[in-house]
Amino acid sequence: MVIRWIITAALLITSQLVLAAEFISSVDRKQIGRSDPVTLQLQHVDSQGGFLNLLSTDMPDLSPLERDWNVVGRPRISKESSNVNGKSTSTTRWEVELLPRRTGEVLIPALSYKGEYSDPIRINVEDTATTEPEKSEHFFFEVEVSSGTHYVQEQLLYIERMYYTVNHDDASLSEFEVANARVQPLMDPKKHITVVDGQRIGVYERRYAIFPESSGTLVIPGQRFTARVTDRYNRFRGSAETIVSKPIELTINPIPDSYPQAPWIPASRFVLEETFSTPPTEWQAGEPVTRTFTIKATGLNSGQVPPVPMAEVEGLRYYPDQTQDNSSISEQGIVTTITQSVALVPGAAGELILPEVRIPWWNTLENKVEYATLPEHVITVTPAATAPPSSQTSPGISEPPVEPVAGELPVDSGIWKLALGASVVMNGLLLAVVAWLMLRQPSSSAASVVPDHQARKEAADKKQKEDEHYYWRELKKSARENNAQAIRENIIHWASAASGRPMTSLAQAEVWLNDVRLSAALAELDATLYSADKNSAFNGSSITLLIERAMKANKSQENQESLPELY
């Protein structure tokens, strides 16, 4: 009897443990068109973890979905906790937007989370673009997209208007996401009234900038609008209506073969300007001059604008300053203004030539290569300013002899000689005291003769070190986030500050670091950003480690080369 009771208790405890957590999957619909999204909801309910589960950042393994589905954007996460009769339960939900990769019966496979598995779900994907109506009696969509030829990383403007003619509640628009593209909202969704054919019609309007990340076919999914049409006599009654805008397919071209070997800049407008803190006719040796470049680009974000290339000029030192981003977003798109400053210090008097600056860019309105240029500057550097000579009595000018005034007694020559001797002795003692005081304070005297340009040079060197540490921190941060574009930019900025040389390309940094393994990683980085094949398994976390190894190896080699030969 006792044994039976023990077995029964054990079975009850086991059943409670089994039911302590469950992982459930569901979808918003099981019949879709080939361009329709489906929303997969995953729900994990845990009756034992309680509040601690709300702090967890773990995610279900979504990799099994990649066989037949494109995951659009990042999963949306919501968490909640409840306590009933002293029993705490935590619930975590993930909403995942999926686009089918093929038609027919497509399976959403079982997914796992913390040892629990969800049930598989079968979705019927029809060979039509969408199964939802594009308009109804009360609602209809109007969508505009940039026309013409489109290129990878070019800004595409998307304008969506949803018109309605009746009162309604619980209105909702699907979240705007596009696979293989970055999406930038240009405005908050707004609601306004317009007049069409003399009829007042309500409008929901949204605007986005889309930046395709790869060439090929870009699909902008149909956007779903859902609302409940209210009854004029009873606002709590009404019928639900759903419409979906027509999906849009665009052909995205790769970088043209005619584009030169330079950073890819697709823009509708690209202007380069410059200013100098000191006019080119007034440069002095050792005196820093700030050269400021300003780039104004339409249709690019700041991450797409490369730094201005500066050729190395003999006899001129460079100290780059931090770049300022003054980008603005409007309903017409993104306008980026980048200000890049660098301190130039000429080392000696003579003639310097600042070469012409020439940046290629792709005019998306004209579909051709153009160049933003700055002219060559011929600078005549004057010697450093010296202290003006002290004023002295001009030679050759003598005071006229003073005639004795009538009635005065002549001074005895012996007394005159005695007074002159006393004056000489007193002057000698005064000079000795002054010399002794000067010897007592050598540091202040030495400091007074240090040239001003030496202090400026020390300040510039300090600024260079600060920039080096700043960009190294930014590089490590972008590497942790695996942000390929930010990694590329920060490597260039850091290498420029660390080497004291102007660098504007990844190739210059690669040559300076001179490491085979690092070169392979940098080639993979560029392939991730610019290759038409987006299957690269790039991992940015190893970049900083490879750079540190390259720096240690280069330093060790320099130390060996500096050792004296043995005799």
Q: For residues 331 and 193, which has the higher predicted lDDT (pLDDT)?
A: 193
Q: Grade residue 437 by pLDDT with cuts at 50, 70 and 90.
A: low
CA triple 388-389-394, angle to 5 deg: 140
pLDDT for residue 318: 87
Q: Is 30 helix (H, G, I), strand (E, B) or coil?
A: coil
pLDDT for residue 38: 84
Q: For residues 442 and 475, which has the higher predicted lDDT (pLDDT)?
A: 475
Q: Grade residue 238 by pLDDT with cuts at 50, 70 and 90.
A: low
pLDDT for residue 251: 94
pLDDT for residue 419: 55
Q: For residues 113 and 542, which has the higher predicted lDDT (pLDDT)?
A: 113
How many percent of the chain have pLDDT more than 90? 29
pLDDT in tens, 447-474: 444 456 567 677 777 777 888 888 888 8
pLDDT for residue 310: 84
pLDDT for residue 423: 61
pLDDT for residue 415: 52
Please check the confidence at residue 290 and state whether its pLDDT lies above 70: yes
**Averaged pLDDT for residues 20-38:** 82
Rounded CA separation 118/43 (Å):
9
Q: For residues 137 and 284, which has the higher predicted lDDT (pLDDT)?
A: 284
- Low-confidence winner among 13-27, 58-72, 346-360, 509-523 (lowest mean pLDDT): 13-27
pLDDT for residue 359: 94
Contact 115, 19 (CB under 8 A): no
> Is the pTM above the cut of 0.75?
no
> Mean pLDDT score of the chain, rounded to an integer?
79
Which of 88-97, 157-166, 241-250 has maximum average pLDDT? 157-166
pLDDT for residue 406: 43
In 3D, which of 230, 227, 160, 165 has the Cα closest to residue 194?
165
pLDDT for residue 414: 52
Q: Is 79 helix (H, G, I), strand (E, B) or coil?
A: strand
pLDDT for residue 401: 47
Q: Grade residue 397 by pLDDT with cuts at 50, 70 and 90.
A: very low
Please check the confidence at residue 530 and state whether its pLDDT lies above 80: no
Q: Is 360 helix (H, G, I), strand (E, B) or coil?
A: strand
Structure tokens at 50: 């309680």
pLDDT for residue 150: 94
pLDDT for residue 17: 44
- Low-confidence winner among 120-129, 377-386, 436-445, 467-476 (lowest mean pLDDT): 436-445
**Averaged pLDDT for residues 25-50:** 81
Q: How far is CA 505 from CA 34, 273, 379, in A?
A: 42, 20, 26
Q: Grade residue 558 by pLDDT with cuts at 50, 70 and 90.
A: low
Residues, the chain:
567
Domains of the chain: 16-126 (2.60.40), 139-253 (2.60.40), 266-381 (2.60.40), 467-559 (no CATH)
**Averaged pLDDT for residues 235-253:** 82
Please check the confidence at residue 532 and state whether its pLDDT lies above 80: no
Q: Grade residue 266 by pLDDT with cuts at 50, 70 and 90.
A: very high
Q: How many CA atoms lie within 13 A of 521 on its CB side?
A: 23
Contact partners, residue 281, CB within 8 Å, separation at least 6: 380
pLDDT for residue 235: 59
Contact 37, 106 (CB under 8 A): no
Please check the confidence at residue 410 and state whether its pLDDT lies above 50: no
pLDDT for residue 391: 43
**Averaged pLDDT for residues 363-391:** 83
